[in-house]
Each structure stands twice: as C-alpha cells, then as structure tokens.
Amino acid sequence: MSSVELGKPVPDFEAQATGNQTIRLSDFRGKNLVLYFYPKDNTPGCTTEGQDFRDRMDAFAELNTDILGASRDGLRAHENFRAKHDFPFHLISDKDETLCKLFDVIKLKKLYGKEYLGIDRSTFLIDGDGLLRNVWRSVKVKGHADEVLEAAKTL
C-alpha cells in the first residue's frame, strides 16, 4: 500500500473507533475531515492536543469539518481517554498500524538514548471530495489546532 500524497485522493479506509463503530473515509464525503495522529493516550502532549481540538470543535463544525484522532492504543484506552477529557470526536484504534502506514507516520524515534518506532505527531486535512489538502508532520502542539482551523477556512 502506498502512502497518501498532497492534492491526490486519499484511498478509502476502514478502521475501528470509539463508540463501537467502524469508520470509513467514505462516511465523510461531503464534509472536510481533520485526521490527527498522536503517540499515546493520556500523555501530556497528546492530552493537550486533543483538548485543543475539542475546544475548537464548534468552529470546525461551522466549517463543515469533522475531527478524528488516531493512535495505536486499543479501544478501551481510547474510550477512557475520550471520556476523561470530554472529546466530542471519535478516536481510531490502529493497533495493526494499517492507517499509520497509509499516512506514513511511523518513524524512528529516540527516548533516553533508546531507539524505537513510534508515531510522529501528524495531522492531515482532507476535503469533502476525499482529496488531501494539507499535511502537518512532526507537529508541535502549541498553536497547532488554530493553524489547522485556519487551513480549514480555506476549503
């Protein structure tokens, strides 16, 4: 499976998400979609990022834009994370890394001198026709949700 390309259609995908549902990209046709990948539930940066998107949910909704978060955490962890922080959007569990590979977000990382493969915090803005319109990689959390919101205004 090749990875996504800016300006090209994103292949339809299917993934398990909170709310006991199977999500498909095709479910969002006619709406814009923010798909953000984050390393791990209940860690400081990931919590802040989710809260920032949550706090701007109404502004995104006014722009006909939905939000989905995705990580390799399981559904139980996602359900707890979502409930604890009142996220109004769903979280995708990508334990087998199918979606991570499609969006090419698995990168070699270092922590305390050890190398491991992990999710590189990344966000993708997909328009209502399924075209990839914006990509942010190696995201810094502060101000990111506002930047994505500004980009959504141009669609």
Residues carrying an active site annotation: 46
Cβ-based neighbours of 53, under 8 Å, separated by 6 or more: 34, 36, 60, 67, 69, 87, 89, 145, 148
User: Which residue in 127, 155, 133, 144 sits closest to 56, CA to CA?
Assistant: 144
Give the chain's end-to-end CA distance (angstroms, integer): 28
User: Residue 128's beta-bridge partner residues?
Assistant: none
| 148, two tokens | 């994505």
